[in-house]
Structure 1
Amino acid sequence: MPWVTILSKTVTLPEPGIVRVSGDVLLGFPTGAAQWGLRLYIGGTLIWAPQGNSLQVSQHVGGRKACPTGPCLVELQWSAAPSVRLHSAQLEIDGLPNTVGV
């Protein structure tokens, strides 16, 4: 099962800060339980990687990472058995000033 990028966005930070991502993915299982996985990358770092082999229809995805000034790529990837359907995916992405020293 190959990994496929389903959403990607570059956030440009005017100064060092935090890139925060939150979203949901809706999966369909027309023939029953099957294997699936998601991967969220921020700035090339794997942040979140839920996976399963059940009828988990809705999966939350989220994370944050301290990033330097400039562009920071956010990518959401998925991989699943051929019978699993990707119905929808959405992400909210924020670039925030680093005010907490993370």
Structure 2
Amino acid sequence: MQTVELTLVGKPECHLCQDAKTVVDRVLAAARENNIDITYSEINILDDEQAAAEYGEDIPVVLLGGRPYASFYVYEDKLAYAIIDERDRLLRRSRSLFGRIFRR
């Protein structure tokens, strides 16, 4: 099973970050109920200079598979579909690698 990586970049006292966290929490719960293997982390730009330099005031930012997926506003349905797409992409990639290894 492939693990989807989801990260929320933000800071305390940011109302859009709090809104994004609420959406992310709901989507995480639904993903786990549907047996999607997912890891979640948060990055506080006040504690991470690199993230602060990269994202600045463009927060919140949702990273999916380490790549920016959304910023400012996060929509529950779109994030859920993006997580499914990422899981499927990872599965296709692993099957492709698996096939190449055993075709030799």
TM-score w.r.t. length of structure 2: 0.29
Normalized per residue, the structure richer in helix is 2
- Structure with the larger RCO, 1 or 2 (CA within 8 Å, 6+ apart): 1
